[in-house]
Structure 1
């Protein structure tokens, strides 16, 4: 668990000064000096309080993480399902953990529909020019089956990596059947951690090994007498699996019905969320540093600085005022000099 960010006295002094100098004029030297003095006195207390609070938050997180890990290792159902569903949330084929029985995890996976697969593939003409070739029904089904095998193996590996106490996974694959366009299960089985870990996965064809390494594996795509895969996806007989049969018996295709339905499960898996609607959330930052004003408010200290609200010094009160003359300087008479009024020139007198 990462520790809290380090804090120092310079940071605390800067926070305290910024608070106490709010509203103080730059020309009020006495008030600014008093504000800085009080900030220097309160900064150590502010720093100690924040350090103690952050260390307490770190200790609480460590205890919570230890409790969560113990529950995950002990295969607590709620803890395991939440952790696994969080890991599944970004998978192309959405998966959902629905329960834990001892050390066995049950998962439902939503495979892409066959009708959503491309019908053409890149190819070359006899002359060597690039073109698009139409896929045969058998090749298209094999492509879909290989994609499903890859998604199954990826889901199994991620589930085992997330839950260390799980030794086996019961997985069922949900998709829309191409003939009826109804939701149904096209593959299910049990795969152990040992079987998945000991199998090499290097080539694209290795994805089809999910049919060989699992226990009681059933798949809608069967093998013909010639050893090739069939071109038709048939509905599975799930009467041997009580949980899947119960879901089909009571499931409805209408998502507006009040009862849980296959449509609801399909929507939930398509949205990369759990069927109950729980989505992973991120809490607030436990290491968020309080401001100086918040610290004063929490400790009961008045958040208003005593230097605020004081009457600023009147710097203009002592300035001498220049007395204005009674008459303009141009109209003043100099002593000992006679002034006569000038009469207009005769030449300028109008006739």
Structure 2
């Protein structure tokens, strides 16, 4: 249980390698010996070992054809290499130019192996929009390791506020990790609008529990050293809203209610068209975590 808590609240401590422009290796350097071997294999195909006259004639034709074949193959490889370089440059320009389809495809590929699934849903200029599916609070254990008065190990009931703090720290950790990976993957993006979906403990229905805008500058200049830093997502973002609030006494609220998104048409539209029914077979936001994790690409 201690390891589970550590893992779920320290995702933001990892770093992500920035994406760079693709480098296409040059074509292989072919020589006349290679071309002669290929030509001989072609002309000798189907000739018996004892067909000495035919084999000698085939080898002469191979010697004649080898230089021509070598030049043709070198020209073909140069053409293919040039096309790949052009395609790579076109892809890179689309990525750094914030082409929506390119950015979303690349970012979603990067998100596919995350413990908490994020999904890029749009690009507006240099701003990327992401929806994140946080694990439900009810999925966390309701007990924690402890010791008895005599010093023996035992399990104690996890208080509601401590469980809420665990869940909030986990959400913050995954928000920061998602932002860090998005900025590393999409060089032209300068800010991310991110909203968090989860099932509410009281109703078991999908709702937004956090949203805001975080800039590249704020994320990349912040210090991420321990699990407590995950809660800084509340302070370094713009227009951040969170269901978990602090009471007047300084304690965390014990209830998690859905945020009002009526003033945000885009978020409200996503929620209105989401079905809280994983068995429906529809490609809904409720099934994002299952669908994306079940279709992780095996190749770049």
Same fold (TM over 0.5): yes
C-alpha distance in 1 between matches for 2:279 and 2:154:
45
Matched, 1:147 2:170: yes
Q: TM-score, normalised by structure 2?
A: 0.82
2:234 equivalent among 204, 207, 211 = 211
Matched, 1:198 2:221: yes
C-alpha distance in 2 between matches for 1:222 and 1:169:
23
Indicate the larger mover: 233-242 or 23-32.
Answer: 23-32
Name the residue aligned to 1:34.
57
Matched, 1:184 2:207: yes
Name the residue aligned to 1:272.
292
Name the residue aligned to 1:22.
45
Q: Deviations over 1:166-215 (max 9, x none)?
A: 22111001111121111111110111111112211001000000011111
Check 1:181–1:31 CA distance in 2 against 1; reply closer, same or farther (3 A cut): same
Name the residue aligned to 2:16.
none
| Superposition deviation, residue 250 in structure 1 | 4.2
Structure 1: stretches of 5+ with no match in the other structure: 284-351
Contact in 2 for aligned 1:142/1:229 (Cα 8 Å)? yes
Contact in 1 for aligned 2:275/2:286 (Cα 8 Å)? no
Contact in 2 for aligned 1:96/1:269 (Cα 8 Å)? no
C-alpha distance in 2 between matches for 1:129 and 1:41:
88
Contact in 1 for aligned 2:277/2:286 (Cα 8 Å)? no
Q: TM-score, normalised by structure 1?
A: 0.71
Name the residue aligned to 1:320.
none
Q: Deviations over 1:227-271 (max 9, x none)?
A: 12223221111122121122333444357889xx7x612223432
Q: Give the CA RMSD over aligned residues.
A: 2.7
Contact in 2 for aligned 1:177/1:184 (Cα 8 Å)? yes
The secondary structure found in structure 1 opposite 2:268 is helix
C-alpha distance in 2 between matches for 1:121 and 1:39:
78
Q: Deviations over 1:127-179 (max 9, x none)?
A: 55544443222222211111111110011111112222222111001111121
Structure 2: stretches of 5+ with no match in the other structure: 1-22
Matched, 1:6 2:29: yes
Name the residue aligned to 2:14.
none
Check 1:36–1:216 CA distance in 2 against 1; reply closer, same or farther (3 A cut): same
> How many residue pairs end up in the alignment?
277
The secondary structure found in structure 2 opposite 1:272 is helix
Could you say which structure has the greater relative contact order, defined with CA pairs below 8 angstroms and 6 or more residues apart? 2
| Superposition deviation, residue 28 in structure 1 | 2.8
Name the residue aligned to 1:226.
249
Contact in 2 for aligned 1:110/1:270 (Cα 8 Å)? no
Larger radius of gyration: 1
Check 1:44–1:126 CA distance in 2 against 1; reply closer, same or farther (3 A cut): farther
Indicate the larger mover: 26-35 or 126-135.
Answer: 126-135
Check 1:47–1:255 CA distance in 2 against 1; reply closer, same or farther (3 A cut): same
